[in-house]
Amino acid sequence: MPTAATVAAGHGPDRPSGAAPAELLRRLRARSGGDADPVTHVERVPARPGEQTPWPLWAPEELRAAFARRGVVAPWRHQAEAADLAYAGTHVVVATGTASGKSLAYQLPALATLLADPRATVLYLAPTKALAADQLRAVAGLELDGVRPATYDGDTPRAEREWIRRHSRFVLTNPDMLHHGILPGHAHWSGFLRRLAYVIVDECHTYRGVFGSHVAHVLRRLRRQCARFGRTPVFLLASATSGDPATAAGRLTGLPVAAVTDDASPRGGVTFALWEPPLLPGPGQAPGAGQAPGVGGPAGGAGDLAPVRRSALRETADLLADAVAAGVRTLAFVRSRKGAEVVAATARRALDEAVPGLGERVAAYRAGYLREERRELERALLHGDLLGLASTNALELGVDLVGLDAVLICGWPGTRASLWQQAGRAGRSGDEALAVLVARDDPLDTYLVHHPEALFGRPVEATVLDPANPYVLAPQLACAAAEAPLTPADLDLFGDGAKEAVDSLVAAGALRQRPTGWYWRHRERPEVDLRGEGGAPVCVVEAATGRLLGTVDGGSAHFLVHAGAVHLHQGVSYVVDSLDLDDGCALVHPEEPDWSTHARDVTSLTVASVRSYVDAGPVGLFLGEVDVTSQVVSYQRRRISSGEVIDTRPLDLPARELRTVAVWFTLSPESLAAAGVEPADVPGALHAAEHAAIGLLPLMATCDRWDIGGLSTALHPDTEAPTVFVYDGHPGGAGFAERAYGTAAQWLRATRDAIAECGCEAGCPSCVQSPKCGNGNNPLSKPGALRVLDVVLANLPAPADPGAALPRQGDRRTG
Ligand SMILES: [Zn+2]
Ligand SMILES: [Zn+2]
């Protein structure tokens, strides 16, 4: 293996700024040494000059002057466009890149309105308190008379709350406070709500899945309270770049929303390389095609999931060392804190071997740094005292680092938006920079490094939520009824399924029907947690001190905090001593082992109803409700540095039931035989297709593969055919399966391509193996999976508009 010495020669570590991106990339490639070029694609993202427009005529002089003091002489075109729409009363979402100035787009119309109408008010919602605090600083810094911005959240002292309700005209809060505090106390807020002009929903792409579905109803409850005063506030949303933001924002608010997506802010040029670590020769390879590894069941030992490629962490560490040796200021993003430390330590060692002392110029970022320490880190990196930093993602970083020479991204960060946010830290004004995405052993990573068009073309993932989820809708309607009796008109506001949900609440004795509407029957308010789901949350408690570290939602507890699990909490690693399900409590102790844990479950499934289907001859595609019974039966321990499986340990946990939404496809046995899939290979072929399909779904919807489950079988009693199911892992569904159904042809095409393009012979974690398989990845047939998907794709109707592929709003429940 080449060391840093090969590139360190002749390059003094004191250069404040290193090699140009093309030159650096050439060196990194040259030292890689494998047979195959690790670089699968290089994209030049050109610099963009930026396009300003004059201030809108309606923007008052006082506000323009305030922005000018902050250095904004004129808005970018997209800012003005969004502001104009909102000022004219159109609900609007601005969905553009990081640092494109989205806040100006909503501040401009909102503050102009507050200045023009001395009674008007604005409500600002952020997903986190930290973001609300930043926004408060920004708005307060404009020093506008009579606006009196104030945050109102769980930390606001009681003594200040009444003053804020009465006098602040720009209230900053979060959806949880709106849900738990403001809406139930609407009587105290009537003065504010009856004058509400704008609702700003910042970072609205974070409202996805079950949480997003809850927030959607919290916003409908807010609209209902305003409507009681004849008020219809304008919604102004800001989103990271995402697919079809107008539809997502429409689902979130329940209103027609216009989208502004054409980013007119300037940016520096970036050379972006996609990097696939080389396959390792020899024993890592799985046995022959379609053959089971011969280790039955979940206790199958260390044979499965052996690493086949060089690990992304090792590769990132080498790239970091080489970049630092070349005097290039580089930031490496790694998913876990432990991973970041492995990358930093490995790079330090390689550098010290080359030039003693050079390793000191690489650091790992740790959570819990004080503000001054973060500022010092920033300073050291920007001045070149520090040349390399390995860190977890930017939000946790809390360091204001932009203008670096190179950014290394270890593994697909989950969304295109995060990718650009991380890559966006490279490049000073006028200077070119380098960004490298290093693929992990994962089907989606493999697909993306071979399909640059999915990264550099149009955005692919859409923010997915499903307000019609009955497990969300019913408790939200209970909250609404507790705030004010529900009327038939309200049912329209809450949308599809609201009548059924109200009927179920009446039947359960929670609501009473009277001629004037539906009334909440209890003295106490309903207890609904926006972020929890699937049972009571489990408390995570430090055994030695009794300190409550946090909670894990009931649905995930078996997976995340079983005995022996390594559990990360705010960047600190704990190991679970015991999980007591009766007490809803997991006892843990701080420990940082050099392995991670991966729970595995076994699943059975029955079909409850079919919501919609496509009859495609020998192939059927379905969307419907299913009952899933699953049991977490064991967990694997995997070495963090290499991904190697250490062992598999059994667990004794009860089975759980889940009513959720699934997408599934069936194939006739004849069509499989005609495609050359032997009957004995059918289970392995379907199983391999299922794993890869789950791995690729995050390409279509903003979900994690851990949000989704799957099941495949050569004969399912309900479908009476070979079937592959993919289901939402949340009670009632979160919109992922629905999205998969709506984009099935593209989704399964991408799945097929990812399998076909993986260079392994018999299947590996980059294509058809799954880290959460309950069957120890057995049986799996990579060639069989390709044939299965070919049959499905040959029969499935092509989408009408192959480019769009996004489900139209309101097309659910029509089948
Ligand atoms: Zn493979
Ligand atoms: Zn499996």
Evaluate the omega torsion of the peptide bond into residue 779 and state whether it is cis, within 30 degrees of 0.
yes
Over the stretch 683-740, which tens digit does the pLDDT of each residue have?
A: 999 999 999 999 898 887 766 666 788 999 999 999 999 999 999 888 888 788 988 9
Q: Does 299 or 60 have the greater pLDDT score?
A: 60
pLDDT of residue 295: 28
Q: Which residues surround ligand 2, an ion (CB under 5 A)?
A: 773, 775
Give the CA diameter of the chain. Answer: 87
Q: Which residue type sits at 216?
A: A
Alpha helices, DSSP H only, in 528-658? Answer: 554-560
Q: What percent of the chain has pLDDT over 70?
A: 87
- Rounded to the nearest angstrom, the distance between the alpha carbon of 443 and the centre of ligand 1 is 8
**What is residue 458's predicted lDDT score, i.e. its pLDDT?**
54
- Using H for helix, E for strand and C for coil, what is the string for 781-799? CHHHHHHHHHHHHHHCCCC
pLDDT, position 807: 34
Q: Any idea which ligand is nearest the CA of 284?
A: 1
Q: What angle do CA 723, 725, 728 make, to 5 degrees?
A: 170
- Percent of the chain at pLDDT above 90? 53
| CA of residue 234 to ligand 1 center, whole Å | 50
Look-up: residue for tokens 């590769």?
Answer: 315
Q: Which residue from 534, 781, 543, 560 is spatially nearest to 675, judged by alpha carbons?
A: 781
Q: How far is the CA of 348 from the centre of ligand 1 (A)?
A: 31
Which residue is listed with tokens 């804020």? 164
Q: How many CA atoms lie within 13 A of 812 on its CB side?
A: 22
Q: Give how far Cα 744 sits from Cα of 211, 697, 749, 792, 796, Å.
A: 24, 10, 8, 10, 9
What average pLDDT does this structure show over 151-163? 92
User: Ligand 2 centroid to 692 CA: how many Å?
Assistant: 10
The CA angle 222-228-231, to the nearest 5 degrees, is 75
Ligand 1 center from residue 337 Cα (angstroms): 27
Distance CA 721, CA 709 (A): 20
Angstrom distance (rounded) from CA 664 to CA 713: 11
Reported as a pLDDT band with limits 50, 70 and 90, residue 307 is low
Instruction: Say if residues 128 and 211 touch (Cβ distance below 8 Å).
Output: no
Separation in Å, CA 170 to CA 68, 123, 165, 167, 634: 21, 6, 10, 9, 51
Q: Is the pLDDT of residue 258 over 90?
A: yes
Position 63 pLDDT exceeds 90: yes
Please provide residue 187's backbone torsions phi and psi, each rounded to the nearest 5 degrees. -60, -35
Which ligand sits closest to the CA of 725? 2
Strand 330-334 versus strand 388-391 pairing type: parallel
Please say if the pLDDT value at position 205 is more than 60: yes
Ligand 2 center to residue 463 CA distance, Å? 27
Residue 536, CA distances (Å) to 109, 254, 474, 576 in order: 42, 29, 17, 19
Q: Which of 69-83, 127-141, 763-777 has the highest mean pLDDT?
A: 69-83
Token code pair at residue 749: 């095409």
Measure 89 CA to ligand 1 centroid, in angstroms.
52
Q: Is the pLDDT of residue 165 over 70?
A: yes
For 591-650, the pLDDT digits (tens) are: 988 888 888 888 899 999 999 999 999 999 999 999 999 899 999 898 877 778 899 999
3-state SS record for 710-756? EEEECCCCCCCCCEEEEEECCCCCCCHHHHHHHCHHHHHHHHHHHHH
DSSP state of 178: I
Asked if 686 and 713 touch (Cβ cutoff 8 Å), the reply is yes
Cα of 757 vs centre of ligand 1, distance in Å, is 8
Least confident of 89-103, 335-349, 396-410, 552-566: 396-410
Q: Which amino acid is at 257?
A: V
What is the whole-number distance in angstroms between the Cα of residue 759 and the centre of ligand 1? 6
| CA 27 to ligand 1 centroid distance, Å | 28
CA of 345 to the centre of ligand 1 (A): 29
Ligand nearest to the CA of 763: 1
Q: What is the DSSP string of 293-307?
A: -S--STT-GGGTT--
Q: Is the pLDDT reported for residue 478 higher than 80?
A: yes
Q: How sure is the predictor about 293, in pLDDT bands with cuts at 50, 70 and 90?
A: very low
**How far is it, in rounded angstroms, from Cα 531 to Cα 548?**
18
Q: What is the pLDDT of residue 19?
A: 65
Is residue 98 within 8 A of residue 241, CB to CB? The reply is: no
Q: Which ligand is nearest to the CA of 780?
A: 2
Mean pLDDT for 141-166 is 93
Q: What is the mean pLDDT of residues 415-426?
A: 79
Dihedral (CA of 810, 517, 219, 123) sign: positive
729 CA to middle of ligand 1, Å?
A: 26
Compute φ and ψ for 526, nearest 5 degrees: -65, 145
HEC profile of 220-241: HHHHHHHHHCCCCCEEEEEECC
pLDDT in tens, 180-202: 999 999 999 999 999 999 999 99
Q: 649 forms bridges with which residues in the sheet?
A: 635
pLDDT for the residue 379: 83
Q: How far apart are CA 123 and CA 170, in angstroms?
A: 6
Looking at the predicted structure, is the pLDDT value of residue 284 above 70? no
Ligand closest to 762 (CA) is 1
Ligand in closest contact with the CA of 446: 1
Q: What is the predicted pLDDT for the residue at 339? A: 83
Contact (CB, 8 A) for 726 and 229: no
Start-to-end CA distance of the chain, whole Å, equals 58
Q: Where are the alpha helices (DSSP H) in 484-582?
A: 488-494, 498-507, 554-560
Give the per-residue pLDDT at 282.
Answer: 57
Å from CA of 662 to ligand 1 middle: 26
723-728 vs 656-667, strand pairing mode: antiparallel
- Ligand 1 centroid distance, CA of 306 (Å): 12
Question: 657 C-alpha vs ligand 2 centroid, how far in Å?
Answer: 19
At residue 559, does pLDDT exceed 90?
no
Q: Which ligand is the nearest neighbour of the Cα of 782?
A: 1
Which listed ligand is nearest to 773 at the C-alpha? 2
Asked whether 218 and 436 are in contact (CB, 8 A), the reply is no
Q: How many C-alpha atoms does 304 have within 13 Å on its Cβ side?
A: 29
Ligand 1 midpoint to CA 445 (Å): 11
CA–centroid distance, residue 687 to ligand 2 (Å) = 6
Q: Are 665 and 690 in contact (CB under 8 A)?
A: no
3-state secondary structure of 566: strand
DSSP per residue, 336-356: SHHHHHHHHHHHHHHHHHHST
pLDDT, tens only, 731-784 = 888 788 988 998 899 999 999 999 998 888 888 878 898 877 777 788 999 999
Ligand at minimal distance from the CA of 688 is 2
Does the pLDDT value for residue 206 go beyond 70?
A: yes
Ligand nearest to the CA of 785: 1
CA–centroid distance, residue 710 to ligand 2 (Å): 8
Average pLDDT, the chain: 85
pLDDT value, residue 15? 37
Mean pLDDT, to the nearest integer, of 464-468?
Answer: 80
H helices of 640-719, in order, are 669-674, 682-696
Assign 699 to helix, strand or coil: helix
What's the rounded Cα separation, in Å, for the pair 275 and 434?
A: 13
- What pLDDT was estimated at residue 237? 97
Q: How far apart are the C-alpha atoms of 325 and 355, rounded to whole Å?
A: 9
Q: Among positive and negative, which fits the CA dihedral 680, 684, 687, 693?
A: negative
Please give the distance, rounded to the nearest whole angstrom, from the Cα atom of residue 741 to the centre of ligand 2.
21
Which ligand places an atom closest to the C-alpha of 304? Answer: 2
Give the pair of three-digit tokens for residue 68: 């000018």
Which of the four pLDDT bands, split at 50, 70 and 90, describes residue 461?
A: low
Tell how strand 149-151 and strand 170-173 pair up: parallel
DSSP state of 179: I
Whole-angstrom distance, CA of residue 417 vs CA of residue 456: 12
Q: Which ligand is the nearest neighbour of the Cα of 300? A: 2
546 alpha carbon – ligand 2 mean position (Å): 38
Per-residue pLDDT reduced to its tens digit, 230-251 = 999 999 999 877 778 999 999 9
The order of strands in the sheet holding 170-173 is 149-151, 170-173, 121-125, 196-201, 234-239, 92-95, 258-260
* 154, burial (CB in 10 Å: exposed 0-12, middle 13-18, buried 19+): exposed
Q: Which residues surround ligand 1, an ion (CB under 5 A)?
A: 758, 760, 764, 766-767
Distance 442 CA to ligand 1 centre (A): 9
Q: Whose atoms come closest to the Cα of 776: which ligand?
A: 2
Least confident among 93-107, 150-164, 785-799: 93-107
At 230, list the tokens: 């004849």
HSE, side-chain direction, 13 A CA sphere, residue 351: 29
Element (H, E) at 166: helix 158-167
Cα(782) to centroid of ligand 1, in Å? 8
Enumerate residues 6+ apart whose C-beta is below 8 A from 685.
Answer: 290, 672, 677, 781, 783, 784, 785, 787, 788
pLDDT surpassing 80 at residue 805: no
For the chain, give the number of residues.
Answer: 815
Higher pLDDT, 502 or 301: 502
pLDDT tens-digit series, residues 506-524: 999 999 999 999 999 998 8
Please give the DSSP secondary-structure letter assigned to residue 311: -
Distances (CA, A) of 302 to 87, 298, 795: 62, 11, 39
Q: In the numeric block, which tokens belong to residue 625?
A: 């409700």
pLDDT at 702: 67
Residues 516-528 as b or e (16 or more Cβ within 10 Å = b): ebbebeeeeebeb
Instruction: Quote the ligand 1 centre to 501 CA distance (angstroms).
Output: 45
For the ranges 256-265, 277-286, 287-296, the maximum mean pLDDT occurs at: 256-265
307 φ, ψ to 5°? -65, 140
What are the tokens at 634? 């064991």
pLDDT digits (tens, 9 = 90+) for 386-395: 999 998 875 5
Instruction: Fill in the amino acid letter for 167.
Output: H
Asked whether the predicted pLDDT for residue 802 surpasses 80, the reply is no
User: 25 with 434: CB under 8 angstroms?
Assistant: yes
Assess contact for 250 and 118: CB atoms under 8 A: no
For residue 694, which ligand has an atom nearest its CA?
A: 2
Least distant ligand from the CA of 691 = 2
What separation in Å is there between the alpha carbon of 285 and the centre of ligand 1?
Answer: 10
91 CA distance to ligand 1 centroid (A)?
46
296 Cα: distance to centroid of ligand 2 (angstroms): 12
What is the residue whose two structure tokens read 């006739």?
668
Q: Which of 686, 674, 695 is nearest to 794 (CA)?
A: 674
Pairing mode, if any, of strands 548-552 and 538-542? antiparallel
Span 291-297, mean pLDDT? 31
pLDDT at 395: 53
749 Cα: distance to centroid of ligand 2 (angstroms) = 20
